């Protein structure tokens, strides 16, 4: 089972890449990163609230492949042999690289790509040429 920080980091990193690729102009990117990290932690919620109804439902999902809906939670637990701090640190480092890559995609993309994306967003570049 992986440490909670590893799950959180995977959620943050995956959310960063998804935003960079799908919605690079999304206004609340930092909030979305945090929520992505929390989403990845949901199957472990039963550890923080034992006996509560919703966490019990999540506990039933925790050890099944359905937990992979939460940024590959089940697979990450299977990869980590015990609560390895080294594994968690490597996952955090990979998540850092993913966030850095999303920053680079957002800030350093070529001017032509940025201009084309803005034309498409504004609707000034139709399928048959400019309108």
Per-residue pLDDT of the chain (131 residues; tens, 9 = 90+): 789 999 999 999 999 999 988 887 788 999 999 999 999 999 988 887 777 777 778 788 888 999 999 999 989 988 887 888 999 999 999 999 999 998 887 776 656 677 777 888 887 655 555 54
> What percent of the chain is predicted at pLDDT more than 70?
89
What is the value of pTM for the model shown? 0.75
Res 34: pLDDT: 96
CA dist 123 to 93, 116, 118, Å? 39, 10, 8
Q: What is the pLDDT of residues 19-47, one digit of tens each?
A: 988 887 788 999 999 999 999 999 988 88
- Is 15 in contact with 37 (CB distance < 8 Å)? yes
């Amino acid at each position: 089972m992986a440490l909670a920080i590893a799950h959180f980091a995977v959620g943050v990193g995956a959310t960063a890449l998804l935003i960079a690729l799908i919605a690079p102009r999304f206004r609340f990117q930092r909030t979305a990163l945090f929520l992505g990290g929390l989403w990845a932690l949901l199957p472990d919620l039963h550890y923080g609230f034992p006996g509560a109804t919703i966490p019990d439902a999540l506990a039933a999902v925790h050890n099944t492949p359905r937990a992979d809906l939460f940024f590959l939670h089940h697979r990450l637990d299977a990869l980590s042999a015990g609560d390895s701090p080294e594994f968690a640190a490597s996952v955090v480092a990979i998540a850092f690289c993913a966030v850095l890559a999303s920053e680079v995609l957002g800030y350093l993309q070529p001017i032509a790509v940025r201009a084309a994306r803005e034309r498409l967003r504004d609707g000034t570049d139709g399928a048959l040429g400019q309108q």
